[in-house]
Amino acid sequence: MTAADERPTYPPELRTLLDGRWRHIRDLAREQLRGERFAPVADLSTEEHRERVLGQLKTIAATEMSSYGFSADYGGQDDVGGSVVAFEMLVCDLSLMVKVGVQWGLFGGAIQALGTQRHHAAYLHRLMSLDLPGCFAMTETGHGSDVQGLRTTAEYDPGTEEFVVTTPDEAARKDYIGNAARDGRMAVVFARLITQGTDHGVHALLVPIRTADDSPAPGVRIGDCGRKAGLNGVDNGRLWFDGVRVPREALLNRYGDVAPDGTYSSPIESDNRRFFTMLGTLVRGRISVAGGAGSATKAALAIAVKYAQVRRQFDRPDTGEEVALLDYRAHQRRLLPALARTYALHFAQEELVGTLHERHSGEPAGDERGQRELEARAAGLKALATWHATDTIQTCREACGGAGYLEENRLPQLKADTDVFTTFEGDNTVLLQLVARGLITNYRQEFGELDPLGMARFAAGQFLGAVIERTAARSLIERLVSAAPGRGDESDLYDRGWQLELLEDREKHVLDGLARRLRRAGSSGSEAFDAFNDAQDHVLAAGRAHMERVVLEAFVAAIDRCTDQETRRLLDRVCDLFVLSAVEEDRAWFLEHERLTATRAKTVTQQVNRLCAELRPHAEALVDTFGFPDEWLAAPIALGAEAERRREQRAAAQG
Amino acid sequence: MTAADERPTYPPELRTLLDGRWRHIRDLAREQLRGERFAPVADLSTEEHRERVLGQLKTIAATEMSSYGFSADYGGQDDVGGSVVAFEMLVCDLSLMVKVGVQWGLFGGAIQALGTQRHHAAYLHRLMSLDLPGCFAMTETGHGSDVQGLRTTAEYDPGTEEFVVTTPDEAARKDYIGNAARDGRMAVVFARLITQGTDHGVHALLVPIRTADDSPAPGVRIGDCGRKAGLNGVDNGRLWFDGVRVPREALLNRYGDVAPDGTYSSPIESDNRRFFTMLGTLVRGRISVAGGAGSATKAALAIAVKYAQVRRQFDRPDTGEEVALLDYRAHQRRLLPALARTYALHFAQEELVGTLHERHSGEPAGDERGQRELEARAAGLKALATWHATDTIQTCREACGGAGYLEENRLPQLKADTDVFTTFEGDNTVLLQLVARGLITNYRQEFGELDPLGMARFAAGQFLGAVIERTAARSLIERLVSAAPGRGDESDLYDRGWQLELLEDREKHVLDGLARRLRRAGSSGSEAFDAFNDAQDHVLAAGRAHMERVVLEAFVAAIDRCTDQETRRLLDRVCDLFVLSAVEEDRAWFLEHERLTATRAKTVTQQVNRLCAELRPHAEALVDTFGFPDEWLAAPIALGAEAERRREQRAAAQG
């Protein structure tokens, strides 16, 4: 009997449901990203790893996977959702995932979204084919989270009709820029546009950074960020510009342009609003990172669950047989609630990608509020999904013991590579505050940075109480919530309406309380800042509460799409485990606010234990359904090595 | 003004208190581990890193640091406590720390503790000088946590007066063995001793594994564990023995011997008890790991706090000045409670090292109960300290954003290196269960494995209720607790007696409840296992509650030793933050068990916020007091690079 024979089967509809709308792209990735070229390899030097990933990138450039996100007019496929899903399938090496993201998501995506026809015609073909490898040069050493604080300048010179790009000092050098240290030829550079003596705020321009012979372009200095914790297949670097001249047409001019004489024009009057509109078009990056984090989490769970299924330690006193790790309640508790949350986040991601796709296919819809809501949700899901990845992959490493520490078993690489996901494309702590701001202002506030004074004023003047807007399967959820039994010890913990109502109620209460605190802050900037700062844990809690409710709604909607009864029953239990373990984790809040009695809170803990026991036999099927080929998991402990040793041990003991 | 000028001073007594009884050893390490030889280096290949660490080890072998743990009769210093403190000071590279631990702690320590005069005379000098590099070959691929399940055999052959050492199958190969892959010449091999047809359980023997020309000794096969997440300067390997013959005298025979004719003898009759007595002599390993985890945590916090002190992001709306990260409440919340806990664990570690030193200096005391208590406390502190390291270093990485992801800033290496600390020298989950077992049986149970049936029987028959035994400053703590105000909303959250009583009360309640659950389990092995398994989260909570109380007592005792009033006041606040953030984290429990009202629980959260604000100005002084030289921290962002960039930015903005 081989390890493969021991695998339980899973309901086929579960895979169909998980693969979702872009299942053809998932299947394509499963077929194409195979063989030696895409196998994970441990212990490469930085240079070897970069070389390998560039080779993989070239292979992908030759497939349709490089073209999903671009205009059909220029050889693309106008499939924004598909581009996110394709990105998320690159689990064989997350360096490749990120390099793909840099080239076709960030660099290509910025040209597509911020450029106009002249840029599309000149560059889209070349960048899809990798004839033009490029960078997205936004972050500076001195300003990462606070993008409006960027200090690189692009000053227009009407005499030559050129922009002069300058790094004023060391803090303004571009930093952590993917593709910069080795492969990039051109960069989308974010810089303050200055013309006729006026600073119009941050805009993006195309700046060549390397010549055909691979030396830095004149006036450009290039540094290497060196070794990182992970993602060493990506060549992150630094860029300095010393009065680099680029033609007027290098400006990505969809949202702001400069006439030959230096006159500035823009369809959006306010600098602030224009800047955030530009950033908003790049929302796909955050959604992609959330998806990538999800994939890494799934891979880690697949490895840890499969190992725990065959790994045995300590005898049962009654049988004398060693006990499989996954039969220990403590082990179930580490892995199964995390697995349930991974399912929940998967469905929320699918929902979000769908919304992105509808909104960003062709010309974006004019509905600004919807766009801001999408941005907030992308920020929130990115934060939740990447923190979940960090926690879960860590847990999986520990759950595999010493074997989990060996590179060959992939967990170290998954951990090290994803570690920066909580930081890049927006620091999670900043992102959750963005979510809270959107909620407090009901997405109506003028675009702007996280200004405590603005929030305090809004809370004082216009906030009329938190509004719960359902984000998925609205009428179903409405129905479930209205049918929910009232509060109190009698109602069923497994009632979906009660669960939904519990999370809605928490969100509403946290948000209303936050608004009250901000309102009391007074109206001076100093008081507003201090009040906001004092309430920062409250702000983060508001963002988190909102997102957990949104995630639950997506899970409920997914179960509703499911027509197979067996699959539905299984998913119902997974959803219960997600909700009840989330409630258990935050039960202090529910107790403090008298949403749960002490007795009921203890019952929640008991039921989480019960659900762990109940789902334990399905654990391997639940990770198999992710559909990662063995060669992507690549960890011997998850693919038969441990099972084989057990058999040898049994044979030796009997012989 | 340079960065050094900006550093606040700290009360000198704080350093004295932290450095403690072995301060001369800490100072020696600060002086000696300097210069290029000990500077952290990023991006080494596995082979380069191993070579570098071996070189460092040789340098240390030439100092007194290699000799603390060994008998003065053979050139050692009989300073067990000193050996732990010296180990913990090796923060410049944790690979070096672990390699030192393998050579002089595990390999040398086993010969010292389990061997007799003939082994000491033959090997102690040679191993101290590194003339004899060695391994500690306990763990097998198939059995890590369950050491009693080891399956390597050492069968005595009276014909030749030799032991024959054999690896029966792949699951029984020795695995993760430090010093095995490259440098070790000899190994202390743990194997089942079989003589005259009887298996006497696991014993330790000295087995040469490499010849003088570095090839494997006859019958020994050596493998390489390859690349790991971290600690790649340590050459972990695998060992297989194919009927390897060693003389009768190779047996480390302090606790069990075989006469030339094959007759087995031991001062301890029970196999089980003998095995755990042998393991108990190796308790120093776990204590060392707890200390090493503490050092890594301190280094990470020093880097993150120093960066947060100078790094600024987003303007204050009132002043227009950018705000230092450490002024954000969310940032304080991430770093300062972790810093307070680091102090608490430091004092608990100091206390534990003292106890170890008293007990293991010269001949160990006969008091078995005290020994078992020491072992339980070592297990518990190792679990708490290493999980705290994992959490805190992760948080520090995130708190430093993209800069924290660069190798040059050391956090990636600290994270990757310490990641396995929660696993090696005993998996934390297993260790906390060991603590709970000791508590339930009040350390009176026969030594033995974690047998649920035994625990259930003991709980049913002999457990008379949890007993709180104070572990430090007994009379002071007694006094504080009796003077504590009663429960209820009125008492002062800052009253130390109340805090102590709160943690004692939790421990007692959790333990009594656990005993009740086990008692109800019934008396069959199967029922006992299931009941124990169902209660596993309760078991872990009991271990944790006990250890937090012990840690608090050590903190209180340390403050009591402090004579400087200013230092005392500062430490009192740090201790408050430790306790109140621990209570906040577990407030769900206190609410569920009516130890805190909802109002009071919310007050705890407010007070944690207040304490964060209050300690913020002292944060840098608190990390400076750890006394790590700049060249050990080695992270540019913590040593002036960021401050320098800020100055340039200000100058450019003004210019």
Check B394 against A394: CB less than 8 A apart: yes
Instruction: Share the mean pLDDT of chain B.
Output: 93
Give Cβ neighbours of residue A535 (< 8 Å, ≥ 6 apart). Answer: A514, A517, A518, B329
- Alpha carbon B147 to its chain's center: 19
Query: Phi and psi dihedrals of B60, rounded to 5?
Result: -70, -35
pLDDT confidence of B464, banded at 50, 70, 90? confident
pLDDT, tens only, A361-395: 755 556 888 999 999 999 999 999 999 999 999 99
Check A591 against B598: CB less than 8 A apart: yes
Question: Do A189 and A207 touch, CB atoms closer than 8 A?
Answer: yes
Q: How far apart (Å, rounded) are the C-alpha atoms in residues B384 and B431?
A: 10
Say what the ipTM of the complex is. Answer: 0.96
**A59-73, A291-305, B230-244, B360-374 — which is least confidently predicted?**
B360-374
Count of Cβ atoms closer than 10 Å to residue A131 Cβ: 11
Paired tokens of B182: 């490259």
Q: How far apart (Å, rounded) are the C-alpha atoms in residues B417 and B110?
A: 24
Residue A221 lies in a domain: yes
pLDDT, tens only, A478-488: 999 998 887 65
Q: Could you tell me the sign of the dihedral formed by the alpha carbons of B631, B107, B190, B444, in that order?
A: negative
Residue A131 lies in a domain: no
Say whether A222 sits in a helix, a strand or coil: strand
**Closest of A178, A3, A491 to residue B405, by C-alpha:** A178
Burial class (CB in 10 A: 0-12, 13-18, 19+), B614: middle
Is residue A324 less than 8 Å (CB to CB) from chain B?
Answer: no
Q: How far apart (Å, rounded) are the C-alpha atoms in residues A84 and A291?
A: 7
Residue A163 lies in a domain: yes
Residue A508 lies in a domain: no
Instruction: Indicate if the pLDDT at residue B2 is higher than 50.
Output: no
Residue A169: which of B415, B534, B652 has the nearest Cβ? B652
Inter-chain contacts counted by CB atoms under 8 A, chains A and B? 270
Residue A427: which of B43, B401, B450 has the nearest Cβ? B401
Give Cβ neighbours of residue A53 (< 8 Å, ≥ 6 apart). Answer: A93, A95, A96, A99, A233, A234
Q: How far apart (Å, rounded) are the C-alpha atoms in residues A169 and B650?
A: 10
Return the pLDDT at B260: 98
- Alpha carbon B218 to its chain's center: 36
- Find the mean pLDDT for residues B561-572: 95
Chain A's closest residue to B410, CA to CA, is A229
Is residue A143 less than 8 Å (CB to CB) from chain B?
Answer: yes
Residue B176 lies in a domain: yes
Residues of chain A contacting B524 with CB distance shorter than 8 Å:
318
Q: How far apart (Å, rounded) are the C-alpha atoms in residues B104 and B133?
A: 9
B260 CA: distance to closest CA in chain A (Å): 29
Is residue B78 less than 8 Å (CB to CB) from chain A?
Answer: no
Q: How far apart (Å, rounded) are the C-alpha atoms in residues A468 and A509?
A: 11
Give A 511-530 residues with CB within 8 A of chain B.
524-526, 528-529
Give B 636-655 residues with CB within 8 A of chain A.
644-646, 648-649, 651-652
**A178-187, A573-582, B641-650 — which is least confidently predicted?**
B641-650
Give Cβ neighbours of residue B213 (< 8 Å, ≥ 6 apart). Answer: none
Query: Phi and psi dihedrals of B312, rounded to 5?
Result: -125, 145
Query: Phi and psi dihedrals of B176, rounded to 5?
Result: 60, 25
Residue B99 lies in a domain: no
Return the pLDDT at B364: 55
Which residue carries 């800052």 as its tokens? B494
Which residue carries 């340590």 as its tokens? B234
Paired tokens of A654: 């009997």
Check A226 against B406: CB less than 8 A apart: yes
Domain region containing B164 = 136-273
Return the pLDDT at B5: 43
Which position has the higher pLDDT, B113 or B456? B113
Burial class (CB in 10 A: 0-12, 13-18, 19+), B572: middle
- Alpha carbon B592 to its chain's center: 32
Check B333 against A536: CB less than 8 A apart: yes
- Alpha carbon B184 to its chain's center: 24
Say whether B262 sits in a helix, a strand or coil: coil
Mutate to test the interface with B, among A427, A429, A433 (most CBs of B within 10 A): A429
Question: Do B359 and B365 touch, CB atoms closer than 8 A?
Answer: yes
Residues of chain A contacting B318 with CB distance shorter than 8 Å:
524-526, 529
Q: How far apart (Å, rounded) are the C-alpha atoms in residues A295 and A90?
A: 8
pLDDT, tens only, A87-138: 999 999 999 999 999 999 999 999 999 999 999 999 999 999 999 999 999 9
Residues of chain A contacting B523 with CB distance shorter than 8 Å:
none
Query: Phi and psi dihedrals of A450, rounded to 5?
Result: -75, 80
The DSSP string of B134-171 is EEEE--BSS-SS-GGG---EEEEETTTTEEEEE--SGG
- Domain tally, chain B: 1
Check A402 against B176: CB less than 8 A apart: yes
Return the pLDDT at B490: 58
Paired tokens of A474: 């609205």
Question: Do A468 and A504 touch, CB atoms closer than 8 A?
Answer: yes
Residue A419: which of B169, B313, B405 has the nearest Cβ? B405
Check A420 against B405: CB less than 8 A apart: yes
Q: What is the CATH number of the domain that holds B237?
A: 2.40.110.10
Return the pLDDT at B92: 95
Count of Cβ atoms closer than 10 Å to residue B391 Cβ: 15
Is residue A321 less than 8 Å (CB to CB) from chain B?
Answer: no
Give Cβ neighbours of residue A374 (< 8 Å, ≥ 6 apart). Answer: A283, A352, A355, A356, A359
Instruction: Indicate if the pLDDT at residue A10 is higher than 80.
Output: no
Residue A528 lies in a domain: no
Question: Do B308 and B642 touch, CB atoms closer than 8 A?
Answer: no
How far is the first Cα of chain B from the last one, in angstroms, to the nearest whole number? 19
**B123-127, B142-146, B526-530 — which is least confidently predicted?**
B526-530
Mutate to test the interface with A, among B313, B453, B455, B585 (most CBs of A within 10 A): B313
Paired tokens of B229: 């997440």
Q: Which residues pair with A110 in a beta bridge?
A: none
B610 CA: distance to closest CA in chain A (Å): 9
Is residue B609 less than 8 Å (CB to CB) from chain A?
Answer: yes
Which position has the higher pLDDT, A8 or B292? B292
How far is the first Cα of chain A from the last one, in angstroms, to the nearest whole number? 19
pTM value surpassing 0.80: yes
- Find the mean pLDDT for residues A514-520: 89
> In chain A, pLDDT over 70 holds for what percent of residues?
96
Residue B318 lies in a domain: no
Is residue A144 less than 8 Å (CB to CB) from chain B?
Answer: yes
Return the pLDDT at B560: 96
Mutate to test the interface with A, among B314, B391, B397, B430 (most CBs of A within 10 A): B314
Instruction: Share the mean pLDDT of chain A.
Output: 93
